[in-house]
Structure 1
Amino acid sequence: MVVPSLKLQDLIEEIRGAKTQAQEREVIQKECAHIRASFRDGDPVHRHRQLAKLLYVHMLGYPAHFGQMECLKLIASSRFTDKRVGYLGAMLLLDERHDAHLLITNSIKNDLSQGIQPVQGLALCTLSTMGSAEMC
């Protein structure tokens, strides 16, 4: 029987409720395994929720590099909620040392040319955070 993945709020409560560092690591390892499985299954409906949990784990200092390509998939989505989490993830998880940050260039160009102001704002914010000469 597969144990369902936690919601972000439940994950936060469980991590904060851990009595020891070992318990915290165990909770995070289990949830990261669920997140990886969800990414492998290709569930597009819950992808942004899984990435949001992964970003929280990253903010706690745990490795979250396996979410980099998911950021790009979310940015390429047509849904604003997906784009918002995808761009946030890109700003946090990608840097100039990774080739994946160059793959975001076309998505940023497309979003800037769409004419939808909230989407343009996301693209501009990301560009200002992680833009480089190679992206031009």
Structure 2
Amino acid sequence: MSEELPVWIEWLRALAVPAIAFGGLVIACANLWLGIKRRADDLFDRRYALFQDAQYFAQFTSNPEGGKSENFVLRAPSELEAQAAFLFDRTFSQHLRRYLEGVRRGDFIVGVEAELFQLFHSRMK
């Protein structure tokens, strides 16, 4: 009393599990790729926020009245240096430290800001 199924249904049954597994693999690879891109974007956002805070510190230190706004929070240079050591390599942290020390002393080192900007953009590639 057992009926035999057509051959094409047998083939469909045999290929269904690998097809579903392949679809899962495609979704997993897409998730991995998106996770890597998201991590890179988050790292860029954190690095850019640090860079922007260093610029705000320099602007506020050189002109205390011109840099004030209602939601402006001046971060401590030591906090910026510690975060730079965590987010960037040693070269960038040393340049940032040199830049912030020059800003604190009041003598702006010519070219250091441009050098810092170039270093920042070279790390973003």
Higher relative contact order (CA 8 A, sep 6+): 2
TM over 0.5: no
Give the alignment's TM-score, normalised by structure 1: 0.28
Structure number with bigger Rg: 2
Give the alignment's TM-score, normalised by structure 2: 0.30
